[in-house]
Chains A and B, each alone.
Chain A
Amino acid sequence: MNVVEVNVNPKRVKHDLKKQERSLLLRRFLSNKLMVTGSIIIVLLLLLAILGPKLTPFDPYEMVVKERLEAPSSHHLLGTDNFGRDLLTRIIYGAKVSMWVGFASALLSSIIGLAIGLTASYYRYLDNILMRICDGLLAFPAILFAIALMAVLGAKTENVIIALTIVFSPEVARIVRSRALVVREETYIEAIRSQGASAARIIWKHIAPNTISPLLVKATFVFSEAVIVEATLSFLGAGVPAPDPSWGNILSDGKDVIYTAWWMTVFPGLFIILSVLGLNLLGDGLRDLIDPQSSTK
């Protein structure tokens, strides 16, 4: 067979390949309608959380006793709560809290999970210890573990983030570790090691970048899970402390007046469902982008 010799600039080829890859990713993204929907939902919610407080004429804390429990109207679009506060405004400020708690927990548990996962995958003697610790932590159901942590830490927004980070980091660590173990076995890592690269260099420069995609997918799911757990904690009174607005708090107030004020349950509920749905769609889509094989499932 003929061997064709081609003279090309390797840098150029790499660049073109990257460009091609990027446009392929973009096309795949746009062809995944569910993922586009999820992204739009999340972007809108983020915009609402950031800009919403500036747009609403109401104060989320101001109680107007004579406007208690008003049904949705043109004045109060989503009605008022049992203290006469505008529900839409409370929900908007709640979006800010939920998105912040979700994002911060996802970010923190990604960082900690990444560090633990990489360490475990590289240093075999630590692997066993770290993974047994993760197994042990994962034996506690997420919500209950978070409740217990909040019970001792005390109800406070920052503590919710700390608790969620403790709860979700082991899951992230396992994902990073299993991916890193695969990369670690590849020949090129062996080659770099034989050239005397330091452990830290191999881990951070060569193994870590390969774990980013599964990490990103997991982080998205941690985000959505964190939104659910935060709402649950706040609903139980063990999360974001009242009177700060949070979707869980509003639902908790709404539960007491469920006979008279359906809107206090339905609207914050819808926002929780929308945000979790959006994040899950985004996560599913990201996973399919990275690993098209799994898209059939």
Chain B
Amino acid sequence: MYIYILKRIFSLVPVLFVVSIVAFLLIYLTPGDPVSVMLGQEATAEQIEALREQMGFNDPLYLQYFHWLINVLQGNLGDSYFMHMPVTTAIVEHLGPTLSIAVLAELIAILIALPVGILAAKHRGSLMDQFVMGFTLTGMAIPSFLFGLILMLVLGVKLGWLPVAGYQPLSTGFWNYLQYLLMPGLALGIIQSALIARMTRSSMLEVLNADFIKTARSKGVKERSIIYVHALRNALLPIITVVGQTFGLLLAGAVVIETIFNIPGIGQLVLNSIQSRDYAVIQGVILMVAFFYVIINLVIDLLYMLIDPRVGY
């Protein structure tokens, strides 16, 4: 079992290697010289040369990558040229709201998707099932930022239930903190729940067709425990995978949606950096999110071992 865990961790190395190369090379996709693009048209040749030297652009590419990687491995993602601070600091300062939204959205998504998916599978073909399928189809067709706008229009502008923009940190009180996050959280979470509900339904349907469900029924197990004990425990595996994978999507979604609600998170950092051509920040953010994604998937794989006794042997 420990060998399995080690193997699984080791398998991340090539993926992370590719991730780092992609993030590193990102800057070189800029049409023209990234340094002169960063400095703008008024920059003098000396300024450009100075920055080139400072950023190590005059070294051969592999050496640049090597230096960069060493720094990244030490937690140093370079400096923001525009904000005059380390990228790591900038990211940490903006991470709170984004993570809060992603976590809240994940909770909302799971709370909606699990019961809805299970119910649809249990009453397959019924009106309720069709309703759930309609919900998942529509949900998957709406971009989360659009749903955010719609919620803003209805809950914020028309009904005035929730504040339409802004952010209050947790230190100002839990309700204060929550009410600003609720709309973006709902927007992301409800949209995400469509995918998870669909997955839950199909996974439950598959398990409910399995022979061991018939066995359980034949020995007198109550319908309730057939669904919630025998079937759900098996159906959970693919559901957990989706939940894990969508956490990456939710992080990315949070980045987008917070720009609608004027929340000072990673999204705002990214948009500002795009405007100021602060490539190091963009590079840092994308590297961090990919790293999150990889680690979450690792955690999920390890979680599998707790749920499915077949894994790890």
Contact = CB atoms under 8 A, between A and B. Distances in A.
Direct contact of A and B (CB under 8 A): yes
B146 A272 contact: yes
Contacts of B213: none
Given A152-B29, A154-B31, A280-B137, A135 B271 contact: no
Secondary structure call for the B interface: helix
B286 A144 contact: yes
Given A232-B256, A280-B141, A297-B202, A136 B289 contact: no
Contact of A265 (B149, B273, B277): B149
A269 B149 contact: yes
Contacts of A277: 137-138, 141
Interface in B261-300: 270-271, 273-274, 277, 279, 282-283, 285-286, 289-290, 293-294
A132 B145 contact: no
B248 interface: yes
A17 interface: no
Interface residues of A, number: 46
A204 interface: no
Given A136-B18, A280-B140, A141 B149 contact: no
B30 interface: yes
A137 B26 CA distance: 12
B252 interface: yes
B259 A251 contact: no
B152 A141 contact: no
Interface stretch (A2-10, A85-93, A107-115, A254-262): A254-262
B15 interface: yes
A140 to B, nearest CB: 5
B153 A258 contact: yes
Contacts of B251: 141, 144
B300 to A, nearest CB: 14
A277 B252 CA distance: 22
Contacts of A236: 256, 259, 271
B286 A148 contact: yes
Query: Chain B contact residues (Cβ within 8 angstroms of A): what range?
Result: 35 or more
B31 A153 contact: yes
Contacts of B252: 141-144
Contacts of B143: 228, 231-232, 272, 276
A151 interface: yes
B182 interface: no
A149 B282 CA distance: 9
Contacts of A142: 249, 252
B271 A237 contact: yes
B57 interface: no
Interface in B20-74: 21-22, 26-27, 29-31, 34
30 contacts: A135-B14, A135-B15, A136-B14, A136-B21, A139-B248, A139-B294, A140-B19, A140-B290, A141-B252, A142-B249, A143-B252, A143-B253, A143-B255, A148-B26, A150-B274, A152-B29, A152-B282, A153-B29, A153-B30, A224-B141, A231-B143, A258-B157, A262-B157, A265-B149, A269-B149, A276-B142, A276-B143, A277-B137, A277-B138, A297-B206
